[in-house]
Amino acid sequence: MHRRSFLKAGAAGVAASGLAAPALAQAAPEVRWRLTSSFPKSLDTIFGTAETFARYVREASDGKFQIQTFSAGEIVPGLQALDSVSTGAVELAHTPTYFYVGKDMTLGLGTGVPFGLNARLQHSWWHFGGGEAIVNEAMKPFGVYSIPCGNSGTQMGGWFRKEIKTLDDLKGLKFRIGGLGGQVLAKLGVVPQQIAPGDVYPALERGTIDAAEFVGPYDDEKLGLSKVAPYYYYPGWWEGGAMLHLCVNLDKWNSLTPQYQAIVRNACEAANNWMLAKYDAVNSQALGRLIQAGVQLRPFPMETIDAAYKAANEFYAEVSAKNPLFKKGYESMVAFRKENYTWWQIGEYSYDSYIIRSSRG
In a domain, 346, yes or no: no
CA dist., res. 212 & res. 125, Å (int): 29
pLDDT at 26 over 70: no
pLDDT of residue 16: 43
In a domain, 290, yes or no: no
pLDDT of residue 179: 73
pLDDT at 73 over 80: yes
CATH of the domain at 94: 3.40.190.170
Give the total number of structural domains in the chain: 1
Apex 74 CA angle, 243 and 241, nearest 5: 10
Contact 121, 241 (CB under 8 A): yes
pLDDT of residue 1: 46
pLDDT at 105 over 60: yes
Q: What pTM was estimated for this model as a whole?
A: 0.89
For the segment 271-300, the average pLDDT, to the nearest whole number, is 97
pLDDT of residue 195: 86
In a domain, 41, yes or no: yes
pLDDT of residue 354: 94
Contact 230, 164 (CB under 8 A): no
pLDDT class for 196, splitting at 50, 70, 90? confident
> Is the previous residue joined to 96 through a cis bond, with omega within 30 degrees of 0?
no
pLDDT at 27 over 90: no
In a domain, 175, yes or no: no
For the segment 214-219, the average pLDDT, to the nearest whole number, is 95
For the segment 332-350, the average pLDDT, to the nearest whole number, is 95
Could you list the residue range(s) of the whole structural domain that residue 93 is in? 3-150+240-281
In a domain, 79, yes or no: yes
In a domain, 131, yes or no: yes
Average model confidence (pLDDT) across the chain:
92
Higher pLDDT, 2 or 326: 326
Contact 250, 317 (CB under 8 A): no
pLDDT of residue 361: 63
In a domain, 54, yes or no: yes
In a domain, 97, yes or no: yes
For the segment 179-194, the average pLDDT, to the nearest whole number, is 92
pLDDT at 331 over 70: yes
